[in-house]
Chain A
């Protein structure tokens, strides 16, 4: 595979909230073009990890590097987004009062300064990109609908589409299939598979069937640390994982 993009390194991340260690020496590495699933019981630190990567939370100690040169801990959220990391929230967050195509247009990669947005029009190439992403996320027929008119699943796809508009090298998806119907899950499955190789994708998910169907590599988090890593079968037969999930 010819893969553009950078490796994401998390090294010895520790963060605590009021004495509770949400992350406790987390070390993780995501290769370019990889589709990685991260699972773990509630409170394992999955969302905290995403918050740190995207700059929402600063860790107490540890490092986050994107590629060999970029220290994410010194960047703000918009700078991290510009560096090529897109994030989908746990609850779908689209702009309800804007149309589907306006949602995508907002997410266009490029100059996001006030003056540029006040005077410049999108180029025809950017219009093509909007059309292209509408096809990828299967919402071409809904392009003029307001965000709020979409179903739950469609909102999730629109949000993924917004990430694609930014042309990110790494996509972080927090529970992309939560609350979806079976058909919607299948559709999301295909969508994510199609991204593999072009973008690194990190998926945090509770739905085991979904994880089994998409991931080649799975990381299990527990109490802020990596408990196990490997393919789904390896991970599921690991006695420590069984203990965490079923209770010792």
Chain B
């Protein structure tokens, strides 16, 4: 029977998606409950710090989702996606800075502390409007989106692909990092923004506000997941995978490959920007180190660990890798970079389809030997073309 369906129908039939979304809902209910309703004395109590950490993990998970959309499905390996994340974060940070108002150390109602410290007399023009939450949200989407549009337009039109594209994305995030480090850029130099007081009137010291922020983060993860899933399951998604596997064949079939790439790249940058905007109020700081090239590479490793080209794998990978990062950087701080490197090597060698691939392998293994052999062949076949 003919099986091409529209975007919406194919998304509804997907059982993996249902399980994934149920998991997110479960986390959104259980964690705030453990934090707010379970008494501190109980072993099940989740600390305020713990709750914010989970929020941070899911912001990175959203960034990983954005990377998986372009890398896993379209073969565009961006090693600078942290830039879009940080830009979204800075846009939100500017709003939070303006909302500090006269409560800053210098008590200036308009200028943030660092500007007073630099002896600036008035607010630079690009800070106008950021005292409005709606304007800040618009910028959270617009700034990463427009940058990705301009960057992608030049890169894809000039047919920059593969490792060359990866290198210029590294250069992009590195250049932005250097720029944001400069005090006279007007973004707080290497200190960035911190000491936030409240967001749309809600006190950022309150655990309740953080519980709500976590729920919003999870909702945005679910929403961006649903959008990505709908796109990759559509006929356009098939074109995107075709571009990944044989770009020039797709071009000769009459597809304007650069338009397809540009669309997913911009969408991916916007998702990354929103993730960054959710990250800043929960963590309470944004500074230029968010642009560090290593951050972007870490996210790519998260995607590889979870399972490239699966979307939920990216989310699972990001949460697990960042949990491991929290653990190692407190237990044995100097070991983390080695752990990260080893993780990448091991996953590439032994788990080319990541944790999600391993799980589907085990599931069939449990169904008996014959199923396992069939799956093994299937997996081996699947791997071939992605290894070039």
A residues whose Cβ falls under 8 Å from a Cβ of B: 54, 56, 77-78, 81-82, 86-87, 89, 93-98, 102, 105-107, 109, 112-114, 117-122, 127, 146, 148-149, 162, 166
**Cβ of A142 to closest chain B Cβ, rounded Å:** 15
- The answer to whether B254 and A95 touch across the interface, beta carbons within 8 angstroms, is no
9 other contacts beyond A97-B382, A102-B238, A148-B385, with CB at 8 A cut-off? A81-B254, A95-B246, A97-B241, A97-B385, A106-B242, A107-B253, A118-B236, A122-B4, A122-B235
The closest CB in chain A to the CB of B251 belongs to: A77
Query: Known: A95-B241, A95-B242, A95-B249. Is A114-B263 also a contact (CB below 8 A)?
Result: yes
**B300-312: contact bitstring with A at CB < 8 Å (1 yes, 0 no)?**
0000000000000
Distance of A95 Cα from B242 Cα, bound (Å): 6
Q: For chain B residues 1-57, which have a beta carbon within 8 Å of chain A? A: 2, 4-7
Q: What 1/0 flags go to B225-267 for Cβ under 8 Å of A? A: 0000001001110110110011011111111110110010000
B254 A148 Cβ-Cβ under 8 A: no
Give the residue of B234, B246, B382 whose beta carbon is less than 8 angstroms from that of A117: B234
Are the C-beta atoms of B4 and A105 separated by less than 8 Å?
Answer: yes
Contacts of A82 in B (CB 8 A): 254
Asked if B7 and A146 make an inter-chain contact with CB atoms under 8 angstroms apart, the answer reads: no
Chain A residue at smallest Cβ distance from B254: A81
Which residue in chain A gives the minimum CB-CB distance to B253? A107
**Could you tell me the distance between the alpha carbons of A118 and B8 in the complex, rounded to whole angstroms?**
10
Distance in angstroms from B191 CB to nearest chain A CB is: 42
Contact B7 A119, beta carbon cutoff 8 Å:
yes
Chain A hits for B334, CB < 8 A = none
Is A93's CB under 8 angstroms from B246's CB?
A: yes
State whether B255 touches A105 (Cβ < 8 A).
no
Which residue of chain A has the shortest Cβ distance to B256 in the bound complex? A78
14 A-B contact pairs sorted by A residue (CB < 8 Å): A77-B251, A78-B254, A78-B255, A81-B251, A82-B254, A87-B252, A93-B246, A97-B241, A105-B4, A105-B238, A112-B239, A117-B236, A118-B235, A122-B235
Inter-chain contact A114/B246, CB cutoff 8 Å: no
Residues of the A chain whose Cβ atoms lie less than 8 Å from the Cβ of B254:
78, 81-82, 109, 112, 166
Query: Which of A86, A94, A149 interacts with B252 by CB under 8 Å?
Result: A86
The 6 tightest CB contacts between A and B, nearest first, are A81-B254, A117-B236, A118-B236, A93-B249, A117-B235, A96-B385
Is the CB–CB distance between A114 and B236 below 8 Å?
Answer: yes
- Given A105-B235, A121-B5, CB of A81 within 8 Å of CB of B241: no
- Give bound CA distance, A166 to B255, whole Å: 11
Residues in A whose Cβ lies below 8 Å from that of B263: 114
Bound Cα distance from A148 to B385, whole angstroms: 9
Contact B239 A106 (CB under 8 A): yes
Task: Say which residue of B2, B234, B238 sits within 8 Å of A106 (CB atoms).
Answer: B238
Contact B253 A162, beta carbon cutoff 8 Å: yes
Partner of A78, one of B6, B241, B249, B251: B251
When distances are taken between beta carbons in the complex, the residues of chain A under 8 Å from B256 are 78, 112-113
Q: How far is the CA of A93 from the CA of B251 in the complex (A)?
A: 12
Q: Is the CB of B234 within 8 A of A118?
A: yes
Alpha-carbon gap, A56 to B253, bound state (A): 13
CB-CB < 8 A to B381: which residues of A? 146, 148-149
Contacts of B259 in A (CB 8 A): 113-114
Closest to B385 in A: A96
A112-B385 contact given A117-B235, A118-B234, A121-B6, CB 8 Å threshold: no
Which residues of the other chain, B, contact A120 by a CB distance below 8 angstroms? 235
Can you name the residue of chain B whose Cβ is closest to the Cβ of A88? B252
Contact partner, B384, options A77, A98, A148, Cβ 8 Å: A148
Give the residues in chain B near A89, CB-CB below 8 Å: 248-249
For A122, list chain B residues within 8 Å (CB). 2, 4, 235
The 8 Å CB contact of A54, one of B239, B252, B382, is: B252
Contact among A78, A81, A118, A162 with B7 in the assembled complex (CB-CB below 8 Å)? A118
Query: CA–CA, A72 to B220, complex, Å?
Result: 47
Contact residues in B for A102 (Cβ distance below 8 Å) = 238
Taken together as a complex, chains A and B put the C-alpha atoms of A97 and B241 apart, in Å, by 8
One of A98, A118, A119 near B242 (C-beta < 8 A): A98
Smallest distance from the beta carbon of B309 to chain A beta carbons, Å? 10
A112 interface neighbour in B245, B255, B384, Cβ under 8 Å: B255
A81 engages B6 (CB within 8 Å): no
Residue from A97, A107, A114, A149 in contact with B260 in the complex, judged by beta carbons closer than 8 Å: A114
Choose among B4, B245, B246 the residue that contacts A121 (Cβ–Cβ < 8 A): B4
The complex places the Cα of A114 from the Cα of B337 at a distance, in Å, of: 41
Q: Within the complex, what minimum Cβ distance (angstroms) separates A66 from chain B?
A: 15
Task: Write out the residue numbers on chain B whose beta carbons fall within 8 Å of the beta carbon of A113.
Answer: 256, 259
Asked whether, in the complex, the Cβ of A127 is within 8 Å of the Cβ of B249, the reply is no
Chain A residues within 8 Å of B385, by CB: 96-97, 148
Set of chain A residues within 8 Å of B231, measured between Cβ atoms = 118
**Shortest CB distance B145–A (Å):** 16
* Alpha-carbon distance A122/B3, docked complex (angstroms): 10
Write the chain A residue with the least CB distance to B231. A118
CA distance A122 to B5 in the complex (A): 9
Which residue on chain A has the smallest CB distance to residue B381?
A148
B267: min CB distance to chain A, Å:
11
Segment 289-324 of B: residues with Cβ below 8 Å from A: none
Q: How far is the CB of A94 from chain B (nearest CB, A)?
A: 8
Question: Whole-angstrom distance between the alpha carbons of A102 and B250 in the complex?
Answer: 13
The residue that A127 contacts in the complex, of B2, B238, B250, B257, with Cβ under 8 A, is: B2
B234 touching A81, Cβ below 8 Å? no
Q: Which residues of A contact B249 (CB under 8 A)?
A: 89, 93-95
In the assembled complex, which residues on chain A have CB atoms less than 8 Å from the CB atom of B245?
95-98
Set of chain B residues within 8 Å of A109, measured between Cβ atoms? 254
Most buried by A among B238, B251, B252: B252
Question: In the bound complex, what is the Cα–Cα distance between A82 and B382 (angstroms)?
Answer: 32
A27 to B173, CA, bound (A): 50
Give chain A residues whose Cβ lies under 8 Å from the Cβ of B236.
114, 117-118
